[in-house]
Amino acid sequence: MYYKENSLIYLDGDWLKANEATTSPFGQTLHYGNGVFEGIRSYKTRNGAQVFKAKEHFERLHYSAKSMHIPFPWKVEELVRLSYELLERNELEEAYLRPLVWLGANMKLEPTDEVHLFLAAWEWPRYLGEQLLSVMTSSYQRPNPRSCHVDAKVTGHYTNSILATTEAKAKGFDEALLFDSNGHVAEGSGANFFLEKDGMLYTPPQGNILPGITRHTIMELAKVVGFPVREMHFGEEWLLEADSAFFTGTAAEVAGIGSINNIALKMNWEDSIGHTLAAMYRQQVMDNEYKHFTLV
């Protein structure tokens, strides 16, 4: 459940009980999927609740809105402040925060000026769980970047993700891995993909993916300890040659993959670069600073 009896949400300037919040059924977002959102995590650190890369997430929310011609009358700093207030009002420290910007009544396929802001937070375990994942390559492709802004976090794009995970779960897998419209590996339904091969990490470049904030963090952490990472297109054949692989995302954090299409990856997860980076990521989010970093 995403809220309890006394949970509070932020809605257009007011703090409301989550179970009393309402919205109009005529909104453009509801009908056509033209809205933007974020997924953010806060961690219980020794300095209290810290929202990891809050500014970067709200900057991406702004970017997503701009790319969809959605007005964005909020300042990033104000949104960061509201996030901390949201946590405080709900007495949450380890939480997932969900900002959503959605549009008012407009049945035309045109921009609309009426814009709403919703913020909620709840306790959410790691999205893909703690176990090594059994992944299938999806029959669904990621949306073509010439048909929409794939680097924006737009509500409607997630119909593609829902189709892919529904297919994967129906076939007994944990998660889907999607190709782009050129047949290259792109990403998971809601997480970026990394592959380890001969001591190098590879990840698909920007263009057909949502360039994740976790992906960026992982690339920076890899640099700190000298693991080479190459952003590069690769096809399905590389999946067979991979030593190890993992997904990255705010909700999933760093999620190790055990097998792809029922073929086990060669290396033990505990021996992989991904495993080391997962521990570093944990330390990073708990410190919220690179300078405290020590290798674990």
State the catalytic residues.
153
Burial class (CB in 10 A: 0-12, 13-18, 19+), 69: exposed
Nearer to ligand PMP, 34 or 106 (CB): 34
- Tokens matching residue 230: 């190459």
Can you tell me which residue has the tokens 């297919």? 167
Contact criterion met (CB below 8 Å) for 53 and 217: yes
Note the residues at the interface with ligand PMP (CB under 6 A). 39, 153, 187, 190-192, 210, 212-215, 248-250
For residues 245 and 258, give the distance between their C-alpha atoms in angstroms, rounded to a whole number. Answer: 8
CB of 65 to ligand PMP, least distance (A): 15
Closer residue to ligand PMP (CB): 34 or 248: 248
**Measured at CB, which residue is nearest to ligand PMP?**
212
Which residue lies nearer to ligand PMP by CB, 82 or 254? 254
Counting Cα atoms < 13 Å in the Cβ hemisphere of 179 gives 15
CB closer to ligand PMP out of 128 and 210 = 210
Closest distance of CB 285 from ligand PMP, Å: 12
> Which two structure tokens, joined as six digits, stand for 242?
């991979």
Query: Least distance (Å) from ligand PMP to the CB of residue 57?
Result: 7
Distance CA 205, CA 11 (A): 36
**Which residue, 102 or 193, is less far from ligand PMP as judged by CB?**
193
What is the closest distance, in whole angstroms, from the C-beta atom of residue 2 to ligand PMP in the complex?
17
CA–CA distance, 11 with 246 (Å, rounded to integer): 36
Q: How far is the CB of 30 from ligand PMP (least distance, A)?
A: 20
DSSP class of residue 270? G
Name 115's bridge partners. Answer: 103
Cα–Cα distances (Å) from 104 to 3, 25, 39, 63, 76, in that order, read 24, 9, 22, 20, 22
